Amino acid sequence: MLKHLSPPVRQYLLVTGNYWGFTLTDGALRMLVVLHFYRLGYSPLAIALLFLFYEFFGVVTNLLGGWLGARVGLNRTMNLGLAIQVAALAMLLVPPESLSVPWVMAAQALSGIAKDLNKMSAKSAIKLLVPGNAAGTLYRWVALLTGSKNALKGAGFFLGGALLATLGFRGAIAAMAGALALIWLFSVLTLQRDLGRAGNKPKFSGIFAKSRAVNFLSAARLFLFCARDVWFVVALPVYLSGVFGWDHWRVGGFLALWIIGYGLVQALAPGFTGSSNGRSPAKVPDGTTAFWWATCLAVSAAVMALALTIAWHPAASLVVGLMVFGVLFAINSSLHSFLIVSYAREDGVSLDVGFYYMANAMGRLLGTVLSGWVFQALGLGACLWFSALFVGLAALLSLGLPRHRSGEK
């Protein structure tokens, strides 16, 4: 079937399928670790700390991975990410008594490296598979890849719970490692060689973006994801459990459905932002588009924070507010993902994309730390006020982005 498709479409489907397989195991692994250590009696904050290395090494990997991809090719960095994830899963197959916290944190560090190598490679590859004058097509392809990834990550949460219930912890890990090893082998045999390799070997100093547009967008991305994770990682699940009295499965199911819905909206983002024509600059999102959507997101976070602060129907306000926030955040995230691929240099695209996702990972890391600290000290309402502040900063930074010149470097 793939033989009848054009080479760019065939490569896009291979990259997307590769990314999908990785994402399912990544989401399932996170849920497996959360549920397994919850059963062992670990507190939510202690479980969240297991993922700190996952986020920290995401920062390092994105910074160095973009440089590595430009030197050796994106096919190699994508396949390397898959191989490292298989190794991370294999680390968790040790006897139960050997599953210490440092060991699990080390496995999560490897998984964080693998995830960001895979994501950086997939997002960078799309830039090279779409003609330079087809910005609308590029936006739709990026939105589909990004949205489907997050929907599958939510599905992975359900998969992790199902595998744990049917196969047990070690059985579930072994099944995922075997499936991912097959995906890795298929990817090695089919993915285009030297995809994304720069014409000239970039120097190590090239890991830092030299483009004003990329720098401003990366800073905006940092605050955008810090704004999400400051309430999402620790504060929200603990609040739903401790204040609303939801059981563990209800909390996990709600978060999984939120992520799936968020991913579906990301895939539809080009329709929301009005980019229906790939060749009309006026219809391609720009810095002004990013500013207005970020402003709407900041307002939604502030309204939620105010409702919780004055205790105005907290359950309804939070659930409805999270739905609105999820839709707006998904559009902002998908819009950013398009802009970075659009702004990135054609030769050595992974350098700019890697720098941008380094900022993304830094935002997640800061948000994770702040989520536990701010919630413990001031509560969920304060986390949402911080969220509104961070999105507001992202909106202001968006004013520094190019306008109606999506291809400007």
pLDDT tens digits along 263-318: 889 888 888 876 544 444 446 788 899 999 999 999 999 999 999 999 898 889 99
Looking at residue 370, its amino acid is L
Question: How high is the pLDDT of residue 42?
Answer: 75
Mean pLDDT by 10 residues, the chain (409 residues): 61 77 84 76 70 80 73 80 93 85 86 84 70 68 77 80 84 92 88 60 55 90 95 83 77 81 86 58 76 96 94 90 94 90 70 83 87 86 96 96 59
Residue 397: per-residue pLDDT: 96
The pLDDT score that the predictor gives to residue 63 is 74
What does the alpha-carbon distance between residue 178 and residue 306 come to, in Å, rounded to a whole number? 48
Which residues contact residue 81 at a Cβ distance below 8 angstroms, ignoring those fewer than 6 apart? 22, 113, 114, 115, 116, 117, 118, 121
**What is the 3 state secondary structure string of the chain?**
CHHHCCHHHHHHHHHHHHHHHHHHHHHHHHHHHHHHHHHCCCCHHHHHHCCHHHHHHHHHHHHHHHHHHHHHCHHHHHHHHHHHHHHHHHHCCCCHHHCCHHHHHHHHHHHHHHHHHHHHHHHHHHHHHCCCCCHHHHHHHHHHHHHHHHHHHHHHHHHHHHHHHHHHHHHHHHHHHHHHHHHHHHHHHHCCCCCCCCCCCCCHHHHCCCCHHHHHHHHHHHHHHHHHHHHHCCHHHHHHHHCCCCCHHHHHHHHHHHHHHHHHHHHHHHHHCCCCCCCCHHHCCCHHHHHHHHHHHHHHHHHHHHHHHCCCCHHHHHHHHHHHHHHHHHHHHHHHHHHHHHHCCCCCHHHHHHHHHHHHHHHHHHHHHHHHHHHHHHCHHHHHHHHHHHHHHHHHHHCCCCCCCCCCC
**For residue 75, what pLDDT is reported?**
78
Quick one: pLDDT at residue 382?
A: 94
Helix axes 248-272, 7-39, angle to 10 degrees: 160
Give residue for tokens 């997050």.
Answer: 150
- The pLDDT, as a whole number, for residue 59 is 81
Please name which of 242, 256, 245 lies closest in space to residue 44, comparing C-alpha atoms: 242
**The pLDDT of residue 218:** 92
Lookup result for tokens 């994304």: 196
- Find out whether 308 and 381 touch, Cβ atoms under 8 Å: yes
Please tell me the predicted confidence (pLDDT) of residue 132: 57
Q: What is the pTM of this model?
A: 0.76
* Right CATH for 2-398 from 3.40.50.720, 1.20.140.10, 3.40.50.300, 1.20.1250.20: 1.20.1250.20
- C-alpha span between 145 and 148 (Å, rounded): 5
The domain ranges of the chain are 2-398
Tokens 């490292």 belong to which residue? 84
- Return the pLDDT at 407: 43
- The pLDDT assigned to 161 comes to 77
Retrieve residue 370's tokens: 């702040």
Q: Tell me, what's the pLDDT at 408?
A: 41
C-beta of residue 120 within 8 angstroms of C-beta of residue 22: no
